[in-house]
Structure 1
Amino acid sequence: MSGTNVGRSSAGLWMVGGAALLMVGAVAAIALTPPSGGGSAGTVSQEAPPHATPPGMVWVGGGDFQMGSEEPQDKTNPDRLRPDEFPRHRVQLGGFWMDVTEVTNAEFAEFVEMTGYKTFAEKTPTREDLARSGLNMSLVPDKALVPNSLTFNSKFDREALNRDLPQWQYQVWQITPGADWRHPDGPGSSIEGRMNHPVVHVNWEDANAYLGWAGKRLPTEAEYEYAARDGGKDLLYPWGNERDPGGTAMCNYWQGDFPLDNTNSDGFLTTSPVKSFKPNGLGLYDISGNVWEWCHDFFRADYYSESPRKNPRGPEDSLDPDEPGIVKRSQRGGSYLCNTNSCTGYRTTARMKGDFLTGTVHTGFRGVVDDAGYEKFVAAQAKIAEQKKTK
Structure 2
Amino acid sequence: MNVKNLVILLSFSVLAVSCNRNKSGKSSVTGWNYNDKNMGGFQVAKATDQKTGPGLVFVEGGTFTMGQTEEDVMGDWNNIPRRVSVPSFYIDRTEVANVHYREYLYWLNKVFDPTDPQNLPIVEGALPDTLSWRSELSYNEPMVEYYLRHPGFNYYPVVGVSWKQANDFCLWRSDRVNEGILLQKGFVNKQSLNGQQGADNFTTKSYLLGVGYQPPPGKGATSKKNPLKTPQGQPRTNVTMEDGLLLPDYRLPFEAEWEYAAYGLIDQNPRTSTKKKRGEELVQNRQVYPWSQNPNGLRDVRHGSWQGQFLANFKRGSGDNAGVAGGLNDNAFYTADVKSFYPNAFGLYNMAGNVNEWVHDVFRPLSTLDFDDMPAPTRGNKFQTIVKDPSTGEAMVNDTTGRVVMRDVTDEESKNRRNYQRGNVINYLDGDTASQASYGYGTTTLVSDHSRVYKGGSWNDRAYWLSPGTRRFLEEDQALSTLGFRCAMNSMGGAANGKGTRKTGNQFPTKRSKR
Is TM (by shorter chain) over 0.5?
Answer: yes
Task: Name which structure has the greater RCO, CA cutoff 8 Å, separation 6+.
Answer: 1
**Alpha-carbon deviations, 1:177-216, whole Å to 9, x = none?**
xx8xxx7x32466533100001111101110111111120
Residue 105 of structure 1 contacts residue 191 of structure 1 at CA under 8 Å; is this kept in 2? no
CA gap 1:58/1:290 in 2 versus in 1, 3 angstroms: same
Residue 149 of structure 1 contacts residue 359 of structure 1 at CA under 8 Å; is this kept in 2? no
**Alpha-carbon deviations, 1:280-307, whole Å to 9, x = none?**
0000001111111110010111212212
CA gap 1:334/1:322 in 2 versus in 1, 3 angstroms: farther
Give 1:317's match in structure 2, choosing from 421, 426, 448.
426
Residue 132 of structure 2 contacts residue 481 of structure 2 at CA under 8 Å; is this kept in 1? yes
CA gap 1:108/1:322 in 2 versus in 1, 3 angstroms: same
- Higher Cα radius of gyration: 2
Is 1:336 aligned to 2:401, yes or no? no
Give 2:252's aligned residue. 218
For 2:62 and 2:144, how far apart are their aligned partners in 1?
Answer: 43
Residue 62 of structure 1 contacts residue 95 of structure 1 at CA under 8 Å; is this kept in 2? yes
CA gap 1:119/1:268 in 2 versus in 1, 3 angstroms: farther
Is 1:255 aligned to 2:307, yes or no? no
Give 2:471's match in structure 1, choosing from 351, 367, 373.
351
Q: Secondary structure at the match of 1:84?
A: coil
For 1:245 and 1:68, how far apart are their aligned partners in 2?
Answer: 27
For 1:153 and 1:262, how far apart are their aligned partners in 2?
Answer: 19
* Deviation, structure 1 residue 69: 1.8
Give 1:105's aligned residue. 98
For 1:198 and 1:85, how far apart are their aligned partners in 2?
Answer: 26
Amino acid at match of 1:97: Y
Residue 162 of structure 2 contacts residue 479 of structure 2 at CA under 8 Å; is this kept in 1? yes
Which is helix-richer, 1 or 2?
Answer: 2
**TM-score, normalised by the number of residues in structure 1:** 0.61
For 1:271 and 1:148, how far apart are their aligned partners in 2?
Answer: 14
Amino acid at match of 1:186: V
For 1:261 and 1:114, how far apart are their aligned partners in 2?
Answer: 36
| 1:1-391 correspondence runs (5 A) | 50-69=49-68, 72=71, 82-86=76-80, 88-116=81-109, 118=123, 120=125, 122=127, 149-151=131-133, 153=135, 155=137, 185-187=143-145, 190-215=149-174, 216-231=250-265, 234-240=286-292, 246=307, 248-257=309-318, 259=319, 263=323, 265-310=329-374, 311-315=376-380, 316-317=425-426, 322-325=445-448, 327-340=450-463, 344-371=464-491
Residue 50 of structure 1 contacts residue 371 of structure 1 at CA under 8 Å; is this kept in 2? no
Q: Identify unmatched segments of 5+ residues in structure 1.
A: 1-48, 124-146, 157-173, 374-391
* Deviation, structure 1 residue 82: 4.1
Give 1:160's aligned residue. none
Amino acid at match of 2:172: W
For 2:448 and 2:349, how far apart are their aligned partners in 1?
Answer: 35
* Deviation, structure 1 residue 240: 0.5
* Deviation, structure 1 residue 248: 3.1
CA gap 1:110/1:292 in 2 versus in 1, 3 angstroms: same
Tell me the percent identity: 28
* Deviation, structure 1 residue 154: 7.5
For 2:98 and 2:106, how far apart are their aligned partners in 1?
Answer: 12
For 1:212 and 1:261, how far apart are their aligned partners in 2?
Answer: 35
CA gap 1:241/1:83 in 2 versus in 1, 3 angstroms: farther
Deviates more, 1:90-99 or 1:314-323: 314-323
Residue 289 of structure 1 contacts residue 335 of structure 1 at CA under 8 Å; is this kept in 2? yes
Aligned length: 269
Q: Secondary structure at the match of 1:345?
A: helix
* Deviation, structure 1 residue 253: 0.4
Q: Identify unmatched segments of 5+ residues in structure 2.
A: 1-47, 110-121, 175-249, 266-282, 299-304, 381-424, 428-438, 494-515
CA gap 1:346/1:187 in 2 versus in 1, 3 angstroms: same
Amino acid at match of 1:89: R
Residue 287 of structure 1 contacts residue 333 of structure 1 at CA under 8 Å; is this kept in 2? yes
CA gap 1:262/1:55 in 2 versus in 1, 3 angstroms: closer
RMSD, matched Cα: 3.3
Give 2:405's aligned residue. none
* Deviation, structure 1 residue 54: 2.5
**TM-score, normalised by the number of residues in structure 2:** 0.47
Residue 62 of structure 2 contacts residue 87 of structure 2 at CA under 8 Å; is this kept in 1? yes
Q: Secondary structure at the match of 1:331?
A: strand
Give 1:19's aligned residue. none
